[in-house]
Structure 1
Amino acid sequence: MFRRSLILLIGFWIGSKFFSEAINVTNSRYRQNYHIIAPTGWLNDPNGLSYFNGNYHVFFQYDPTSSNGGGPKQWGHVTSTDLVNWKYTQPTIALAPDQSYDVGGVWTGSAVNNNGELTAIYTGLHNNTGEQLVNIATSTDGVTFTKYSGNPVVPTQPIDGTNQFRDPKVWKYNGVWYMVVGNQSKKNHGRTVLYQSDDLRQWTYLGPLADEPDNRVGSMWECPNFFYINGKHVLFMGTDVERDGDHFANQGLNVYFIGDFNYETKVFSHAVDFYELDNGHDFYAAQMFQDPKNRTILFAWMNSFGTNFEEMQDGWAHTLTVPRQLRLSSDGSRVQMIPVDELTLLRGTEYINSPIEIEGHDLRLYYDKQTGKLVLERTKDVRQVDMGSIMQLNLRIFLDQSSIEVFANDGNVTMSSRYYKDPIPTITLFAEYGVANVEFQAFRLNNIW
């Protein structure tokens, strides 16, 4: 069977060690060929993205015992030397919930290289109180971790916040460690709070980095990321935002602010407007890191809480996106995402003027010149985004066994969605009510698993 592992380049000129009972994968029909997936069971948020000891490290929320994510979360682990060919570490579970402060789950967090020691900073769910606590674990080889004897390093949420307190993201600036954590205020609006430390073990609360008291950006901010890029600071997070026409259509989505952060005053001054990071059906819990080439690289979980994930009946669930490089638009007003250059290493057979068949169902991607919108339609569930006034549309499309990722006009717009097979359609390029000049390339992409 031809497994859909394909990239399309189109230009339009427009006129375990904790759990012993892992479940088995019973059907591989939707298993991804070149995306990160769990060996079995459930996967969600990317965690601990880092480069250490010559390897890229991607950890992920993992439950090998079920495909519905019902068990306590652990950190699964894959590594790569090139961001393309990934291998499961042995053991695959890097962090398991085996202490009182995390027995309810080793939840989302980040990782940093601290003088030759890879330090994971993660959320633990306490077994007695149900509190969400910040803990750390360290590794000298990047595979085997030892939890800090003084955990939790942040034993309680801020006094002016609720117990919704999770997903620490850490970075270093001028010799000082900083950390943002997702939190909910006692007035039940989402916010990101800020900490600092000299040693990753003793943390001082500095107050809210950003919040929106009118609840227009949701009631809880998860998985915050804060970073400097192209002369600006960017804060993005996962949240729930009321739908506004074509915008904010998913039940869970990543949004971002762009602004300036003053390390002296600890004030983040940002624009009022906020934007979606991705405009498809399935994109959440994004995390970024800086790689040795000084690139800002992102992975996300392809999920939005509204999709019927058919692979769950097959003993596994979910996938991450391909790695993406972040940058700002030329005017500094938008975050752009493009596939990392290394993904060209996946290319195999090139198709030139040949019919290409993929398995799919009711999936349509088209540009409507009259409205100026790029539309991704999945089983009559539409996501569309205004492309503005353009004369040329360039699309780079990644198709895998059960996902599509669209990068339009050099990352000005991205759309990520899961999809599942039914009858086998053909990929068709067509123009209605006019003429389009088209250049087309397609490559079969190699299977890394």
Structure 2
Amino acid sequence: MFRRSLILLIGFWIGSNEAINVTNSRYRQNYHIIAPTGWLNDPNGLSYFNGNYHVFFQYDPTSSNGGGPKQWGHVTSTDLVNWKYTQPTIALAPDQSYDVGGVWTGSAVNNNGELTAIYTGLHNNTGEQLVNIATSTDGVTFTKYSGNPVVPTQPIDGTNQFRDPKVWKYNGVWYMVVGNQSKKNHGRTVLYQSDDLRQWTYLGPLADEPDNRVGSMWECPNFFYINGKHVLFMGTDVERDGDHFANQGLNVYFIGDFNYETKVFSHAVDFYELDNGHDFYAAQMFQDPKNRTILFAWMNSFGTNFEEMQDGWAHTLTVPRQLRLSSDGSRVQMIPVDELTLLRGTEYINSPIEIEGHDLRLYYDKQTGKLVLERTKDVRQVDMGSIMQLNLRIFLDQSSIEVFANDGNVTMSSRYYKDPIPTITLFAEYGVANVEFQAFRLNNIW
């Protein structure tokens, strides 16, 4: 007989939401970032500027299948919780020869009181993927640089798969990583530097894996310093290995040390998944005024059937998460930002409870030592190691679940489709679980 203590904190919203220009609100999210209508994908340009948090996102307001040229949608918040669409909601549109095929993924930085967006543009005539910039003094209205593109060609040692610039500043110098496929068709991240965000010098590959074990193209790279180490994470296509790398498109990361003099990133051979759920991709991070490393991701996997597409909209971002390293420096951990407690309304229940349901199953298997999230018989599971107690914090919205286990050692993010909201089954295989259950009704921000 197995007895295990489970301390569960579940946050969820129950109720209706008046959708904005959509045909059905049954799966419409209530406290996650979503587009007003149409298609949303990668988070872009994460930044803090003029007293507001800014989240831009890949946006196609014309359809729910993302078939049109991409634009940058835009929301702002003073607290990382209550988001508002800017007016206009479209910050950057494809209206120049160098980006008429789409304003694709990129980043944003505060350059001496000017918010500068650095983005991928798809050229009208050549189909090349180019790096461009646009600037804003108010954080809402942007002017594209007359000298675009600032990086007019891909590296000479790479293919035309060249996209998703992420920029940061160190000791007065701007640096940029970009995803690029090598001419031998393996994934890699390349490095640039600049004094003014307009003239860029190619420094060569920051990291690559010639044996293709980390996929053929590295998208949405992020490179940053945290807790004494440098972390590189990116979206890619890794071959499945048992329970690992189960999604069609996922975020993985390396941890190591970067020397700014030699421009060498020395990292461990092993790489790891950033999230172990069904739907998590195109993650992006930024540093906020509290010196926290904050992340958003697109809750997506390319094998998922997203049922809301028939309702006139598609996709959602994760809740904001704070990144840190584990105590031994070997893993990236993610926890919900503290501000999310502002969403809490009425406490739903505060007593031991047996939770029943059949649409989502979240359980800990003592025999295998794995935490399992099962969605309509599609299983994701993670080895939790030797533990005596399992602490779970779960965010359940109209069509998503995010699980944070043992203070961010493991996270699992997944979409689901059940009208109305399903219940969650929590149980321990081959034994009995003592469950302390606390839930809050979360406010609707839209």
**Between 96-105 and 425-434, the greater mean CA deviation after superposition:** 425-434
- Tell me if the contact between 2:6 and 2:436 (Cα under 8 Å) persists in the aligned partners: no
> By how many angstroms is 1:427 displaced?
3.9
2:428 corresponds in structure 1 to 431
> By how many angstroms is 1:440 displaced?
1.6
Deviation digits for residues 208-251 of structure 1 (CA, Å, limit 9, x no counterpart)? 00000000000000000000000000000000000000000000
Deviation digits for residues 41-61 of structure 1 (CA, Å, limit 9, x no counterpart)? 000000000000000000000
> By how many angstroms is 1:330 displaced?
0.1
> By how many angstroms is 1:435 displaced?
3.3
> By how many angstroms is 1:10 displaced?
6.9
Structure 1-normalised TM-score? 0.94
User: How many residue pairs align between the two structures?
Assistant: 446
Deviation digits for residues 61-107 of structure 1 (CA, Å, limit 9, x no counterpart)? 00000000000000000000000000000000000000000000000
Change (3 A) 1:208 1:429: closer
> By how many angstroms is 1:12 displaced?
20
- Tell me if the contact between 1:7 and 1:397 (Cα under 8 Å) persists in the aligned partners: no
- Tell me if the contact between 2:27 and 2:419 (Cα under 8 Å) persists in the aligned partners: no
- Tell me if the contact between 1:6 and 1:444 (Cα under 8 Å) persists in the aligned partners: no
Query: What SS class does the counterpart of residue 103 from structure 1 fall into?
Result: coil
**Which of the numbers 166, 169, 178 marks the counterpart of 2:166?**
169
Query: What SS class does the counterpart of residue 403 from structure 2 fall into?
Result: strand
**How far apart, CA to CA, are the structure 2 residues paired with 1:55 and 1:250?**
34
> By how many angstroms is 1:8 displaced?
5.5
- Tell me if the contact between 1:23 and 1:65 (Cα under 8 Å) persists in the aligned partners: no
**How far apart, CA to CA, are the structure 2 residues paired with 1:351 and 1:250?**
34
**How far apart, CA to CA, are the structure 2 residues paired with 1:13 and 1:434?**
31
**How far apart, CA to CA, are the structure 1 residues paired with 2:299 and 2:94?**
25
- Tell me if the contact between 1:41 and 1:63 (Cα under 8 Å) persists in the aligned partners: yes
Deviation digits for residues 310-360 of structure 1 (CA, Å, limit 9, x no counterpart)? 000000000000000000000000000000000000001112257999999
- Tell me if the contact between 1:359 and 1:424 (Cα under 8 Å) persists in the aligned partners: no
**Between 430-439 and 259-268, the greater mean CA deviation after superposition:** 430-439
Query: What SS class does the counterpart of residue 254 from structure 2 fall into?
Result: strand
> By how many angstroms is 1:438 displaced?
2.5
> By how many angstroms is 1:363 displaced?
1.2
Change (3 A) 1:286 1:13: closer
> By how many angstroms is 1:154 displaced?
0.0
**How far apart, CA to CA, are the structure 2 residues paired with 1:41 and 1:277?**
28
In structure 2, stretches of 5+ residues that fail to align are none
> By how many angstroms is 1:202 displaced?
0.1
Deviation digits for residues 88-146 of structure 1 (CA, Å, limit 9, x no counterpart)? 00000000000000000000000000000000000000000000000000000000000
**How far apart, CA to CA, are the structure 2 residues paired with 1:138 and 1:107?**
16
Aligned ranges 1:254-403 → 2 under 5 Å:
254-353=251-350, 362-403=359-400
- Tell me if the contact between 1:347 and 1:446 (Cα under 8 Å) persists in the aligned partners: yes
- Tell me if the contact between 1:112 and 1:120 (Cα under 8 Å) persists in the aligned partners: yes
- Tell me if the contact between 1:237 and 1:254 (Cα under 8 Å) persists in the aligned partners: yes
Q: Does 1:3 align with 2:3?
A: yes
- Tell me if the contact between 1:171 and 1:177 (Cα under 8 Å) persists in the aligned partners: yes
> By how many angstroms is 1:24 displaced?
3.7
- Tell me if the contact between 1:55 and 1:81 (Cα under 8 Å) persists in the aligned partners: yes
> By how many angstroms is 1:434 displaced?
2.8
- Tell me if the contact between 2:6 and 2:390 (Cα under 8 Å) persists in the aligned partners: no
- Tell me if the contact between 1:223 and 1:237 (Cα under 8 Å) persists in the aligned partners: yes
> By how many angstroms is 1:422 displaced?
5.0
**Between 435-444 and 75-84, the greater mean CA deviation after superposition:** 435-444
Q: Does 1:446 align with 2:443?
A: yes
**How far apart, CA to CA, are the structure 2 residues paired with 1:318 and 1:44?**
7
RMSD: 5.3
**Which of the numbers 87, 94, 117 marks the counterpart of 1:97?**
94
